[in-house]
Amino acid sequence: MGPVNEMQGSRLKSLVYEKRFPLIVSLAANDPELARAAQEAGADAVKLHLNTVHEITGSRFGSWEEEREGILAVLAAVDLPVGVVPGQGDAMADERAFEEMAAAGVDFIDAPWFALPGAALRRSLQEGRPAVMAALSHADLVATAYLVADPANAGPAPNHVHALPVHHVPPLLPCLTRLPGIDLVEAAVAAPGEVGRPLTAATLVRYAQVCQDSRLPVIVPSQLVFSPQDLRLLAAVGVAGVLLGPLVIGRTVSEIGRQLPRFRQVRDSL
């Protein structure tokens, strides 16, 4: 696994390639108080949201126009790399919003791989920031295996698998991680029945598979109820960093202040 794009620009990307195993905190709201709490408790970066409903909390995040004030306040409040989820599928920030986010100092973009707009890829490739993190889901892994095992299955796929035309496989991940402008992979590959449960070997082997197949560093989000000691297992299979969200570190200033230092203590001992 080695760098494909130039490393200048993005602070998060530098932390990853320096093998710092960054703790990225996904905030429950675009709130500077939460961001400050995360920084004080040991976060290496924070992640904000646009145009989406949070998978775990159900919180709704509006457009760039609606969320701009909160995001700018977070950028002013902390000395950390600040990333943004720009949307999901059709609800995606437009090119003007990407330009304004880059000008404001947003350090990285994180979105489902199939929804990443060319504007984000071009800016990452040409300017080095915001870096682009391409999120891969469990459905993507299932769809790839399903079609590779029998191309005739390009017809009706399991209900939980979004349509992947045959030309996307085989194999998806090595091809995806060669796309220009993509810098990191987010392995959101917990199965639906695993979300909110403790880490098991079944999910860990999936993370190991993604790390093995990816040419780029892999970040794992806390779809599961990770314990601080789970960081050792994740690092051992090749994971380059973690996204810790409300499921494990809470939604409030006090919860973040209690939970995040436990993860930081283990991370610092890796």
- The pLDDT of residue 215: 93
Q: Which two tokens stand for residue 123?
A: 């800016």
pLDDT at 252: 96
Distance from the Cα of residue 243 to its chain's centroid = 7
Tens of pLDDT, residues 152-187: 444 444 443 434 344 333 478 888 899 999 999 999
Query: Three-state DSSP class for 112?
Result: strand
pLDDT of residue 144: 54
Q: Which residues contact 194 (CB under 8 A, 6 or more apart)?
A: 200, 202, 203, 223, 224
Of 260, 253, 257, give the one whose Cα is nearest residue 28: 253
Instruction: Identify which of 30, 36, 38 has the alpha carbon closest to the alpha carbon of residue 63.
Output: 30
**Model confidence, pTM:** 0.87
List the single range of 26-40, 83-97, 130-144 with lowest mean pLDDT: 130-144
Q: Is the pLDDT of residue 104 over 50?
A: yes
Which candidate, 128, 126, 83, places its Cα nearest to that of 107?
Answer: 83
Q: What is the mean pLDDT of residues 129-152?
A: 72
Domain parsing of the chain, residue ranges: 11-138+183-269
Average of per-residue pLDDT values in the chain: 87
Is residue 149 scored above 70 in pLDDT? no
| The predicted structure's pLDDT at residue 143 | 60
pLDDT of residue 151 exceeding 50: no
Model pLDDT, residue 78? 98
- Give residue 224's pLDDT: 95
Over the stretch 227-270, which tens digit does the pLDDT of each residue have?
999 999 999 999 999 999 999 999 999 999 999 999 999 999 99
Q: Residue 148 pLDDT more than 50?
A: no
Q: Which CATH superfamily is domain 11-138+183-269 in?
A: Aldolase class I (3.20.20.70)
Count of CB atoms situated within 10 Å of the CB of 93 = 25
Count Cα atoms within 13 angstroms, Cβ side, for 128. 10
Mean pLDDT of 24-35: 97
Q: Which residues pair with 261 in a beta bridge?
A: none
User: pLDDT tens, 228-238?
Assistant: 999 999 999 99
Residue 22 has pLDDT above 80, yes or no: yes
